[in-house]
Amino acid sequence: MLDIDALEMLQILVPMFESDSESKIFGEPDLQELNLYKPVPVIKGDLDVLQNAGLASVRYFRDDTVIKLTPLAFREHYNLKKAYPVDALLKLVLEVYDQQSIPGSMFSISMPDDPETYLMSIQPYWQLQERKLATITQSGNKLQVFLTEEGVTLAMKHHPLSPQSTPPASVNFNNCGIGNAFANSSNITINNTTNNGISIEELKNIINSNCTNTTDHAEATKLANSLENGNISKGCLEKFSDLIAKHSWLSGAVAQALLRKTLE
């Protein structure tokens, strides 16, 4: 099974190759530049994952690394980038939102071991991440999908329970969307329960119950106060993105609080 880092590595490498038969030589500094957030050993580990999946051929020398991508890598890169119907993209956003809006819950997908099936299965969620509507993290054999501020705003605008909802046809994703029936729909954990959200006081109680780290508690409380004061403009949640990513329960609670603010 591919992991998220290896998948991102595939997305970085493919545009650098002009054909599926060309090999490229990367020195240690070149490998480091491929991903500024990962040390070289991890990058090499990602390359090994691609090689084991039949997506690349990798040869390591003392100072250099030779990489050759296979035709399968180019095909899967194309599949990950192709466009999908807008209505299906919006449907997925709403499904993630409904699950994320339940305090303590998250939208998770159990992924298959077969690399090709894995790539095909992740395509819809990759499209959300490409469009800054969601972020994807991995824990064992599960992917967890979290809507970004833009994703939550989009979901609230078109949610059937929202007074501000508009028909899906009005959504414009620059002609890009997400695909038809999802390949591994039987493995998607979805809860379609919806409600009227939670109050800011309830959000603070959840923070008090779940956040024991003093610094994180202070930051989470600051986030709750911002929502209470009506500071939900674009960019409000972005400065708290690291905190939300660190505490998975917080994203659902914040989404619930935003829903309540929208319905008030």
pLDDT at 139: 79
Instruction: Name which of 107, 106, 261, 153 is nearest 197 in CA terms.
Output: 261
pLDDT of residue 51: 93
| Pairwise CA distance, residues 76 & 10, whole Å | 9
Which fold does the domain 4-78 belong to in CATH? Arc Repressor Mutant, subunit A (1.10.10)
Bridge partners, 57 (sequence order): 68
Distance, in Å, from the CA atom of 16 to the CA atom of 21, rounded to the nearest integer, reads 12
136: Cα within 13 Å, side-chain hemisphere: 22
Instruction: Note whether 9 and 34 are within 8 A (CB).
Output: yes
pLDDT value of position 67: 94
* Cα 180 to Cα 111: distance, rounded to the nearest angstrom: 18
Nearest Cα to Cα of residue 248 among 149, 108, 110: 108
pLDDT at 110: 82
In a 3-state reduction of DSSP, which class is residue 60? strand
SS3 state of residue 159: coil
| Residues 124-134: tens digit of each pLDDT | 888 888 788 88
**237-254: pLDDT as tens digits:** 667 777 776 776 776 677
pLDDT tens readout for residues 129-187: 878 888 888 877 888 888 888 888 888 888 776 555 444 444 444 433 333 333 333 33
> Please, what is the average pLDDT of the chain?
75
CB 43 within 8 A of CB 32: yes
Q: Is the pLDDT of residue 260 over 80?
A: no
Partners of residue 138 on adjacent β-strands: 143
Q: Under a CB-based contact definition with an 8 Å cutoff, are residues 56 and 68 in contact?
A: yes
Please provide the distance, in angstroms rounded to a whole number, between the alpha carbons at the two ends of the chain.
45
Q: Give the Cα separation of 177 and 83 in Å (integer).
A: 5
* Residue with more model confidence, 111 or 49: 49
Instruction: Give the model confidence (pLDDT) of 2-26 as tens digits.
Output: 777 888 888 889 888 877 678 899 9
Q: Where along the chain do its domains lie?
A: 4-78, 84-263
Q: What is the pLDDT of residue 171?
A: 45
Residue 206's contacts (CB-CB under 8 Å, 6 or more residues apart) are 103, 198, 249, 253
> What pLDDT does 190 receive?
31
Q: What CA–CA distance (Å, rounded) separates 24 from 57?
A: 11
Segment 187-219, tens digit of pLDDT: 333 333 334 567 888 888 888 877 878 888 888
Considering just the CA atoms, what is the radius of gyration of the chain in Å?
20
**What is the number of H-type helices and E-type strands within the chain?**
11, 7
Mean pLDDT (whole number) for 58-83: 86
Write out 175-224 in H/E/C secondary structure.
CCCCCCCCCCHHHEECCCCCCCCCCHHHHHHHHHHHCCCHHHHHHHHHHH
Separation CA 134–CA 17 (nearest Å): 28
- For residues 189 and 143, the answer to whether their CB atoms sit within 8 Å is no
Q: Are strands 107-110 and 142-147 parallel, antiparallel or unpaired?
A: antiparallel
The larger pLDDT score, comparing residue 60 to residue 113, is at 60
pLDDT recorded at residue 179:
33
Q: Is the pLDDT of residue 257 over 80?
A: no
How many residues are there in the chain? Answer: 264
Report pLDDT for 162: 57
